[in-house]
Structure 1
Amino acid sequence: MKTILIPTDFSAAAANAARYGLFLAQHLQADIQLIHAFKVPAEARAAAQTAWPLNDYEQVKRDCVLELDNLRHQLELETIASVSPRNYISRITGTAELGEVTVMTRNLVDHYRSPLVVMGMSGAGNLQRLLIGSSSRELIDKATFPVLLVPDLPVTKQLKKIAFATDLSKGDIQIIHSLASLARPFNAEILIAHITDDKYDTVARQHQVNEFMSGVTDQANYGQIYYRHIKSMDVDHGLDWLSEHGQIDLLAMVHRPHPFFEKIFKGSHTQRLARHIRIPLLVFPPDAHGVCF
């Protein structure tokens, strides 16, 4: 059985991500594992203790487990309220451990062979933060699995159109094949969005597009895939336009080392991302071949 991992810091943003993860899990016939990584309190570190007292550890863990149980109960109530004869009833479990959220998540992905990690774009103040630029960025930088970032705004629980931003790299064809396994249970369209400026040579682009789409047709085996070229001064503004005017429910892209992605996940550009990404953002690692949702 497939298991979707949902890291949480018990913030409202993380709870919103969990609810969206539950929506996906019910359609993908997957179970949910809520995970929380807690740290040694700052005062214990300041005291330079060689070992954290066992009773303190047990108390903190009990508190975290109680929070996980509360969140699990809330999700189970939503499951009961939304269940229909066609819905899969996802089994929801939780685990809390001392450590870093990135390490814990990667270990559990390996353990469960999870196809997807769902987490919030922002977190809760002084708690373990799930924020672009910190835990989310670190997880994405090191992930060998897809990570879905959910904004803390209310997100419509529907998946009718998915946009995949691509530079037409051949490796993206396998990613689209994986993306089709997510779209299929929803009968969702996949819009392949290629964003370039007006200086892009039209003839050369058309040849590249034809070759790329031929590969997609051969490998993806999904009929609802369409191509659109978006002219924009840069990828940033093109994605801004696409997310606001493209009538899409989810934006997917591949995390490759290049200036655009570095702008998004580092420094002051974080706030600009939050402004124009008001829909879930699905980030694939470049080597995510064979992922099946």
Structure 2
Amino acid sequence: MKTILVPLDLTAASEHAVVYANKLAVRWPAEIVLLYCHHGPTPTAAEMQTLEQRLRTLAERLRYQQLTRQDGRRIRYHYRVVSGCLHDHAQPEATRCAADLLVMSLEHIDCGRPDVAGNHAAAIINLVACPVLVVPPGRLPLPSSAVFSADFDKLDTHLLPRLSALAKAFPAPLQLVQFYSPHHRPDRMRLKRALEKARPQLTWPAITTHLLEDDDQLEGTSEFCARTQTQLLVVAPTSSALLRRLFDACYTTTRAYHTQIPVLVLRQPQPTMVCCERCARHEAQGAAQRTEAIH
């Protein structure tokens, strides 16, 4: 059985994430863990029970309103209330329940602090190892079309089996899209090979590939999704800066197309960073010693 972790802030906006997770849980199938992180003073045992009951009531109300009785009975819910902020508990809770997917609202409020839409989502994605699905406001259908936009030439191929594991949850035709800038035109053949190499490693019902030229990969992706009426965008950012830009206020405020559909983010391993030349030398010496030990 798969497990979907759904962090809630108990606002009306976060209900959309539960509604979407319910649909996935029926189709996949999967069980759902509802997580509420209580900011402020540590609640008493009685207050913790009250908060957990609020989660139960919310789950039962949405199950009754949204699903048929047969589908509703298929979903098994678990409830978790912890004290603190989501960014402190996201990874431990994802590990504890062995989450295959984390589903959260684009407008999730963390630490009781409303922030520019998407900022909290970008922070949580950087913390957890499992894929994260960011759901915008609104009642959205499960996708009938999906786009996977990435730099396939630099893509960590270990992510592809993880994405394939989600194919049953999103059994829609998948379009693989690789953008390149005009000054990378000489690299088109290499990029095309990387794109085609990824294709057979994905177990999707139907896959097509596109190699497109655009100065800006993110804006090109959003325009491509709008043009093809995509209902799910899959991305694998190569840096934290790209991830933050994905949910930047300039896009959420102007309602760019990719902020109006669910975005599934696959976290790629980030290169090791060093803080100074001394640390760089220490890291180089350690790497040399490890190499000698191997040989």
TM tier relative to shorter chain: 0.7 to 0.9
Q: 1:225 and 1:35 mapped to 2: Cα distance?
A: 35
Q: Which residue of 2 aligns with 1:39?
A: 39
Are 1:231 and 2:213 counterparts?
Answer: yes
Contact conserved, 1:38 with 1:128, CA < 8 A, in 2? no
Alpha carbons of 1:83 and 1:232: their partners in 2 closer, same or farther (altered >3 Å)? farther
Q: After superposition, what is the alpha-carbon deviation per residue over 1:237-269, rounded to whole angstroms, capped at 9, x for unaligned? A: 212202322221110111331643343346x43
Whether contact under 8 Å (1:183, 1:190) holds in the other structure is: no
Task: Tell me the residue number matched to 1:213.
Answer: 196
RMSD in angstroms over aligned alpha carbons? 2.9
2:75 maps to amino acid: S
The Cα offsets for residues 264-290 of structure 1, whole Å up to 9 and x where unpaired, read as: 346x435357533210011111149xx
The letter of the residue matching 1:112 is C
- 2:165 is the alignment partner of 1:181: yes
2:152 matches 1:168:
yes
SS in 2 for 1:23: helix
TM-score by length of 2: 0.79
For residue 66 of structure 1, what is the amino acid of its counterpart? Q
CA contact (8 A) 1:37 1:99 kept: yes
Greater relative CO, 1 or 2 (CA 8 Å, sep 6+) = 1
- Give the match for residue 250 of structure 2: 269
Unaligned segments of structure 2, at least 5 residues: 271-295
| C-alpha contact 1:183 1:189 (8 A) present in aligned 2 | no
CA distance in 1, matches of 2:73, 2:212: 38
Structure 1 stretches of 5 or more lacking a match? 42-51, 289-293
Residue type of the alignment partner of 1:148:
L
Q: 2:96 aligns with which of 105, 111, 121?
A: 111
SS of match in other structure, 1:142? coil
Residue 24 of structure 1 pairs with residue 8 of structure 2? no
Change (3 A) 1:207 1:124: closer
Structure 1 counterpart of 2:15: 15
1:44 aligns with none
- Superposed counterparts of 1:92-107, under 5 Å: 92-107=77-92
Structure-2 change in CA distance of 1:93 and 1:125 (3 Å): closer
C-alpha change, 1:137 and 1:261, in structure 2 (3 Å) is closer
- Percentage of identical aligned residues: 20
Deviations 1:139-176 (A, max 9, x none): 11222111110001231x22222211111135344323
| Alpha-carbon distance in structure 1 between the residues aligned to 2:226 and 2:69 | 28
Residue 260, structure 1, aligned to residue 261, structure 2: no
Q: Deviations over 1:58-77 (max 9, x none)?
A: 35323322321221112331
Runs of 4 or more consecutive aligned structure 1 residues displaced over 4 Å after TM superposition: 128-134
Q: Is the 8 A contact 2:106 2:118 kept in 1?
A: no
Give, in angstroms, the shift of residue 111 of structure 1: 1.4
Paired position in structure 2 for 1:4: 4
* Counterpart Cα distance in 1 of 2:194 and 2:47: 56
With the length of structure 1 as denominator, give the TM-score of the two structures: 0.80
Q: Report the equivalent of 1:48.
A: none
CA contact (8 A) 1:264 1:273 kept: no
Counterpart of 1:49 in structure 2 is none
Give, in angstroms, the shift of residue 98 of structure 1: 0.8
1:129 and 1:20, CA in 2 relative to 1: closer, same or farther beyond 3 A? farther
Q: Report the Cα distance in structure 2 between the residues aligned to 1:40 and 1:90, rounded to whole angstroms.
A: 32
Counterpart check, 1:197 vs 2:181: yes
Mapped to 1, the partners of 2:101 and 2:38 lie a distance apart of 22
Which segment drifts farther, 14-23 or 94-103?
94-103
Alpha-carbon offset, residue 32 of structure 1: 0.3
Distance 1:183 1:212 in 2: 18
Q: Aligned to 1:171, what secondary structure does the other structure show?
A: coil
Q: How many residues align?
A: 269
Instruction: Supply the distance in 2 between the matched residues of 1:230 and 1:263 (Cα, whole angstroms).
Output: 21
Which piece of structure 1 moves more, 144-153 or 93-102?
A: 93-102
